[in-house]
A and B are shown apart, each in its own frame.
Chain A
Amino acid sequence: MLTIDGIDKIYPNGTHALGGVSLAVEQGEILAIVGGSGCGKSTLLRLAAGLDTPTRGTIAVDGTIIDRPHPAVGIVFQEPRLLPWLSVADNIGFGLADVPKAERRDRVERVLARIGLADYGTRWPRELSGGQAQRVAIARALVTQPKVLLLDEPFSALDAFTRASLQDALLALWDAQKPTLVIVTHDVDEAIVLGDRVVVMEPHPGRIFSTIGVDLPRPRDRLSDAFVAAQRRVLRALDGSLGAPESDRKRAEADAGAAMWW
């Protein structure tokens, strides 16, 4: 279980990126985070990955405090960030340096097959399309079998078709390993396709505006009434989170509402 407890993040330049964020994500749950720009979504993920330290509060995975990168937490960035001097297979195996060679090759091959790139192990990253490269990045993060996988707008640079196919690929990988997924996105559809819950954040400082449960069976039909209804709820919450004049009042309500969630 990923526990985020009373997190504040104030950068040295005075930017108040996060103000009192608390969240608990169950093992195997998929949590989607949406919100306007500047509401601290990416900051929250960087803190959870141990790449930054919070000014106040703690982040823990199954009771272990995360204050630096930890093997239980993997992260996929907006860009694939593959190492261009390593083959695709070596990129995926990058985090498995301590694993015996034969087992490493085995695990890399298995995950390559699962992302539909079985024959691509010996290619260079430059030979991959954007969607393929991002699949490899997801495979690299999951091959070490983290308990929590964080994804920071992983599909935002891709076209709609590729994005849908990668969402399916991600769900397939998740289904095989059942890690906790936390995915930051600015695509409401994506949040509802993937998430068990959708957290809507508001800016200045970044905090949770409301949380919307998405109780739909997978695979989810984007055209079903229930899907559209969930979409509408998230969009309404997003509207509210950005409505600056009333935001204080709404936040009070949202806090009351959020309190019922945990």
Chain B
Amino acid sequence: MTATLDTDTAVSSVPVRADEVRRRRGFSLFGLAIGLAVPLALALLWEAAVRLGLAPGRLMPPPSRIALTLYDLAVGGSLLMHVTATTARVAAGFALGVVAGTLFGALAGYSGTMRQLLDPTLQGLRAVPSIAWVPLFILWLGIFEESKIALIAVGVFFPVYLGVLGAILSVDRKIVEVGRVYRLSGPAMVRRILLPAILPEFIIAVRSGLGLGWMFVVAAEFMGASEGLGFLLVDGQQLGKPDQIIASILIFAVLGKLSDAILVAASAPLLRWQDGFAARR
């Protein structure tokens, strides 16, 4: 019997060879170098243009001056404070927004009644430019942390809600039927079938939510803050310090990219099962 059983068991996955792993790692270092080529070249050109007198350095400070500003901020100790303040706001608003977006998205995705009940309202609220909430949040929550975190949470909420809702609606009916065959209850269906099935789309939604979180923290800090990167931006404008503005922008770029990379790295182990275009690169 076993002899007949084994006829189609031979074909299967090929183990990854060690030299292939090495080649992949080399590839990523090479990729990092390629990724840095454009910004480095631009910085060098800029520096040269200012040094050669081809461009005015006052409003467009050369990279060397920006680096110096960054260094002064870091040594003075205030850079860490500003970065921490902004990151903490993003983290709090992001957490709130992701939890609420996932909850409402799952509810509206799973139950048609809930979708009819909630979705029109939420879509209507989504159409409100989020900055329009600022005056109201300040009246309700005051000018300190609460109103800022609320604004960031609103920004994060919508992409996550939409992503979860859309992903649940597009889960393969055939897979859901497997859950039905095993008589899963509503919550079990969400936990054991729907959420794992939408995990790849969920992570993309969370990533765009995080991007919006960084965007909204600036708006939040514009509306009155005594610390944070947004404060550095406003301060730089009011005191005529373009180097400080560009330094803050650069820090935003680094923080945004870094937080996204952490999210991707943290979610990678959960997505090992995927069989997509990029899965076996």
Contacts and interface: CB of A to CB of B under 8 A. Distances in A.
B127 interface: no
B7 interface: yes
Interface in A77-96: 77, 79, 81, 83-86, 94-95
A71 B183 contact: yes
Interface in B5-26: 5-9, 11-13
A69 B179 CA distance: 10
A123 B11 CA distance: 13
A117 B174 CA distance: 25
Contacts of A128: 12
B177 interface: yes
Contacts of B174: 77, 79, 81
Given A51-B181, A69-B180, A85 B9 contact: no
Given A83-B196, A126-B275, A162 B8 contact: yes
Nearest to B275: A126
A162 B9 CA distance: 10
B178 A83 contact: yes
B183 A69 contact: yes
Contact of A84 (B1, B2, B8, B274): B274
B273 interface: yes
A75 interface: yes
Contacts of B13: 123, 127
B73 to A, nearest CB: 45
A165 B12 contact: no
Contact of A162 (B7, B180, B275): B7
Interface in A178-236: none
Given A77-B174, A83-B193, A51 B273 contact: no
Contacts of B11: 129
Contact of A115 (B5, B181, B199): B5
Contacts of A157: none
A129 B193 contact: no
A168 interface: yes
Interface residues of A, number: 38
B170 to A, nearest CB: 15
Nearest to B10: A129
B146 to A, nearest CB: 38
Contacts of A125: 273
B275 A95 contact: no
Contacts of A126: 273, 275
A97 B180 CA distance: 14
B281 interface: no
27 contacts: A49-B181, A71-B183, A81-B175, A83-B178, A84-B274, A85-B196, A85-B197, A94-B192, A95-B181, A95-B182, A116-B2, A116-B6, A116-B9, A120-B9, A124-B272, A127-B13, A129-B8, A129-B11, A132-B12, A161-B7, A164-B4, A165-B4, A165-B8, A168-B5, A169-B4, A169-B5, A172-B1
Interface of A: 49, 51, 68-71, 74-75, 77, 79, 81, 83-86, 94-95, 97, 115-117, 120, 123-129, 131-132, 161-162, 164-165, 168-169, 172
Given A95-B182, A115-B5, 14 more contacts: A69-B182, A77-B174, A83-B197, A86-B196, A94-B178, A116-B2, A120-B9, A126-B275, A129-B9, A129-B12, A132-B9, A161-B8, A162-B8, A164-B4
